[in-house]
Structure 1
Amino acid sequence: MIANTIDQEIKQAMLAKDQARLRGLRAIKAALLLAKTEKGSSDEITEETELKILQKLIKQRKESADIYKQQGRDDLSIVEEEEIDVISNFMPKQLDRAEIEAVISQIIKDSGANSVKEMGKVMGLANKELAGKADGKLIAEIVKTQLA
């Protein structure tokens, strides 16, 4: 589980005086603690939940970096990109487009879906199968293309 290694990584980053890594690790730790203390959650977080949290953190930073670039604030976008790199290290290997297309083709074949009307069913299966391995927007785009 990711939560177990974060504390060790934070200590190492502090000793190495690696501020960028430290920021990213602290962001992960804060998000995981927040998820643990949310109302109705159990004391332990599943690995699937951890991956969703990491994906959310990466998505937030990508959006912020894009906004900073549009505003000509490269100094701030660099900070966001450094944190993305740190957080990405805890994610499983990301699949390329061809691998995602192959997985989705198999899901469509197995589920018997044959029209865009069944996109929700296919998306549910695809998101579960590709959790943490692919971007949600890309999955949706490929599912829509293959069902059309």
Structure 2
Amino acid sequence: MSLELDINAQIKAAMLGKKEADLRALRAIKAAILLAKTAEGSTGELTEADETKLLQKLAKQRKDSLEIFRQQNREDLAVKEEEELEVIARFLPQQMDEAALRTALTAIITSVGATSAADMGKVMGAATKQLAGKADGKAISAMVKEILGSF
């Protein structure tokens, strides 16, 4: 089932169950899908990779907003962002744990031939392509710095 159909079905269920937080997040996902499908240069259909990128973008927006709201002591708004983030996370692929990420990045560093922190750009380029959707960009960057710093 495509993401759009799944979202529509869950919107109906959230309406019937009167789940306001779920409904907010699901409607945001649906709006983002419609914008992506009608964007200039779009074919009108989204691939699974496009859907994952879209969901990751929405999740990142929520995380950034959550961080800002917490800094400004706006717990009321932070709670809403957190609820929406939980709903969006249900549609994202399972994220790699730290050990699996370290193993994958070590293999990428070896294959690229990186030997110092100066090679971070080469490693990040390969890592973001290979681990797209499986790990957060900030986590990848931090671990690459850590691994390359130990050389």
TM-score (norm 1): 0.92
Deviation at 1:147, TM superposition (A): 2.5
Stretches of 4+ aligned residues off by more than 4 angstroms: none
Separation (CA, whole Å) in 2 of partners of 1:72 and 1:141: 27
Deviation at 1:121, TM superposition (A): 2.4
Tell me the SS of whatever aligns to 1:145: helix
Counterpart in the other structure of 2:146: 145
Q: Which runs of 5+ in 1 are unaligned?
A: none
Counterpart in the other structure of 2:75: 74
Tell me the SS of whatever aligns to 1:39: coil
1:92 aligned onto 2:104: no
Structure 1 stretch 125-134 or stretch 26-35: which is displaced more?
A: 125-134
Counterpart in the other structure of 2:57: 56
Separation (CA, whole Å) in 1 of partners of 2:54 and 2:34: 11
Deviation at 1:113, TM superposition (A): 2.5
1:106 aligned onto 2:95: no
Could you tell me the percent identity over the aligned residues? 54
Deviation at 1:4, TM superposition (A): 2.6
Deviation at 1:2, TM superposition (A): 1.8
Separation (CA, whole Å) in 2 of partners of 1:83 and 1:102: 31
Deviation at 1:39, TM superposition (A): 0.8
Q: Which runs of 5+ in 2 are unaligned?
A: none
Counterpart in the other structure of 2:18: 17
Q: How many residues align?
A: 148
